[in-house]
């Protein structure tokens, strides 16, 4: 089993970190090109020299340097975050008020550095703040509604070439994902060499937080639960990266990349829902595919409620390398909102949410009419155990469940299972 550790950097260390591979089960390459600035993904770790002490932390406990290095060398530990702490002296205490017997000035305390591990997303990000003061209690999160903020105008044709790239198309069915800091878009892929008629795209630069949809960019978007986006160019990545979304042309206007599909979202094959019988919210996050493949598209189920999942029909849908695909959903621990779980790096659960979610679900309808449904451990990315049970129920042909930490319905020793539903059937991923 691998354990995730955080560390600060010493001036004597100058090296690169091993890339974390995405947990997708179709095993294709991710985008190769990247910006000079650090992307909001764990593979781009920047080593910064400075006169600081190397500190390793595992589950809140500080490790000896030789123990941490040994674990990293043999693969028992995986680095999940690093930072260069910044220390600012505390402000001087206020001058004491004149009193008959003035009290002595209070002593100031230097902030502790060992527990500060904050990942920087861009080179212009401000330094991490000191955590000397006790954290303020978080307000209760607003009630979710399945992630369907926006999504109006699902049947409204999109006027290709008439909407500015600076305007997110929420009036045409798209759902804004504001917490990603892409201006509402689910992902950005800059393709500066792209022209209409290209067979493939070799130069793909994935946007980072703070970027916006501008000229020469494929701007991907989310649709409401149960729907999928219709727009992706015929030309895909030359090394099998997927590319999706509307295209921002040289005049700064959004163009359809599949003009024969006039709306931005279309209903999936249907028949598949999540039923949340827990007493806390659960955020289940679909990968943005075709596109950056980040697990950011929310299907949020409040306690006692249900939400529909996109069940992609492989007939006439997106093909990866000529092969049909299914939808993949990262299942976060209970109590995580979409802002906390539908993101690559989850600050709330860096080793059990987002890209490191314990369990992934798969859904897809074949040409023959069967819908296959699966749940499986997010290996090799994550070995964590989900903190609730899952059972696929309904018109399915076999038992498939994760109950009390055990897999039911898979083969001997397998950490996952698959079942199927006939055309016209209904199936439920029950969380309890």
Report the percent of the chain where pLDDT is more than 90. Answer: 56
What's the pLDDT band for 268 if we cut at 50, 70, 90? very high
The superfamily (CATH) of domain 268-431 is: Thaumatin (2.60.110.10)
C-alpha pair distances (Å), 96 with each of 92, 100, 108: 11, 12, 14
Task: Note the pLDDT of residue 2.
Answer: 41
What's the pLDDT band for 409 if we cut at 50, 70, 90? very high
Average pLDDT rounded to a whole number, residues 394-408: 96
Average pLDDT rounded to a whole number, residues 383-405: 97
How many residues appear in the chain? 432
Q: Where are the domains of the chain?
A: 7-17+51-84, 149-266, 268-431
∠ Cα 134 140 143 (to 5°): 155
pLDDT at 231 over 90: yes
Name the pTM for this structure.
Answer: 0.67
pLDDT at 6 over 50: no
pLDDT at 322 over 60: yes
Q: Taking a C-beta distance cutoff of 8 angstroms, is the pair 293, 242 a contact?
A: yes
Task: Note the pLDDT of residue 156.
Answer: 96
**Average pLDDT of the chain to the nearest whole number:** 76
Q: Which of 56-70, 222-236, 335-349, 407-421 has the lowest mean pLDDT?
A: 56-70
Average pLDDT rounded to a whole number, residues 37-56: 41
| Separation of alpha carbons 12 and 10, rounded Å | 5
What's the pLDDT band for 345 if we cut at 50, 70, 90? very high
What's the pLDDT band for 111 if we cut at 50, 70, 90? very low
Task: Note the pLDDT of residue 170.
Answer: 96
Q: 128-187, pLDDT tens digit by residue?
A: 443 434 444 443 343 444 554 556 899 999 999 999 999 999 999 999 999 999 999 999
Task: Note the pLDDT of residue 240.
Answer: 83
What's the pLDDT band for 380 if we cut at 50, 70, 90? very high
pLDDT at 256 over 60: yes
What's the pLDDT band for 14 if we cut at 50, 70, 90? very low
Q: 350-379, pLDDT tens digit by residue?
A: 999 999 999 999 999 998 899 999 999 999
- Region of 184 (left: φ > 0; alpha: ψ -120 to 50; beta: rest) is left
Average pLDDT rounded to a whole number, residues 228-234: 93
Report the percent of the chain where pLDDT is more than 70. Answer: 65
Q: Which of 91-100, 118-127, 286-295 has the lowest mean pLDDT?
A: 118-127
Q: 198-213, pLDDT tens digit by residue?
A: 888 989 999 999 999 9
DSSP string, 220-262: E-B--TTEEE----S-EETTS----SEEE-TTSBEE-SSTT--
The token duo for 419 is 């079942």
| Separation of alpha carbons 253 and 231, rounded Å | 15
- CA 207 to mean position of chain CA atoms: 14
């Amino acid at each position: 089993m691998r354990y995730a550790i955080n560390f600060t950097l010493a001036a004597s260390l100058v090296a690169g970190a091993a890339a974390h591979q995405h947990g997708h089960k179709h095993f294709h390459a991710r985008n190769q090109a990247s910006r000079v600035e650090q992307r909001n993904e764990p593979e781009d770790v920047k080593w910064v020299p400075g006169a600081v002490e190397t500190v390793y932390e595992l589950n809140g406990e500080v490790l000896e340097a030789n123990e941490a290095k040994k674990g990293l060398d043999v693969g028992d530990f995986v680095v999940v975050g690093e930072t260069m702490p910044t220390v600012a002296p505390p402000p001087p205490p206020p001058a004491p008020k004149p009193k008959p017997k003035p009290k002595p000035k209070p002593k100031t305390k230097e902030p502790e550095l060992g527990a500060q591990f904050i990942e920087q997303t861009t080179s212009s990000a401000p330094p991490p703040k000191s955590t000397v003061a006790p954290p303020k209690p978080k307000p209760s999160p607003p009630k979710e509604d399945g992630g369907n903020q926006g999504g109006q105008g699902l049947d409204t044709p999109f006027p290709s070439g008439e909407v500015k790239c600076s305007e997110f198309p929420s009036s045409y069915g798209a759902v804004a994902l504001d917490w990603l800091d892409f201006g509402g878009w689910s992902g950005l892929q800059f393709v500066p060499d792209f022209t209409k008629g290209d067979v493939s795209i070799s130069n793909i630069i994935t946007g980072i937080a703070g970027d916006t949809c501008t000229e020469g960019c494929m701007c991907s978007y989310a649709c409401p639960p149960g729907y999928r986006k219709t727009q992706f160019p015929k030309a895909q990545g030359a090394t099998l990266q997927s590319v999706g979304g509307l295209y921002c042309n040289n005049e700064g206007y959004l163009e359809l990349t599949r003009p024969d599909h006039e709306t931005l979202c279309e209903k999936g094959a249907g028949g598949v829902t999540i039923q949340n019988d827990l007493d806390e919210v659960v955020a289940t996050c679909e990968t943005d595919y075709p596109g950056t493949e980040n697990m950011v598209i929310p299907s949020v189920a409040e306690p006692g409620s249900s939400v529909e999942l996109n069940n992609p029909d492989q007939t006439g849908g997106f093909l990866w390398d000529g092969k049909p695909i299914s939808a993949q959903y990262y299942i976060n621990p209970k109590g995580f909102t979409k802002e906390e779980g539908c993101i690559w790096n989850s600050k709330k659960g860096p080793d059990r949410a987002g890209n490191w979610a314990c369990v992934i679900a798969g859904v897809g309808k074949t040409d023959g009419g069967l819908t296959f449904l699966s749940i499986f451990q997010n290996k090799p990315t994550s070995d964590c155990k989900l903190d609730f049970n899952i059972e696929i129920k309904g018109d399915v042909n076999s038992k498939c469940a994760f109950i009390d930490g055990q897999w039911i319905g898979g083969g001997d020793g397998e950490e996952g299972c698959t079942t199927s539903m006939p055309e016209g059937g209904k199936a439920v991923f029950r969380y309890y």
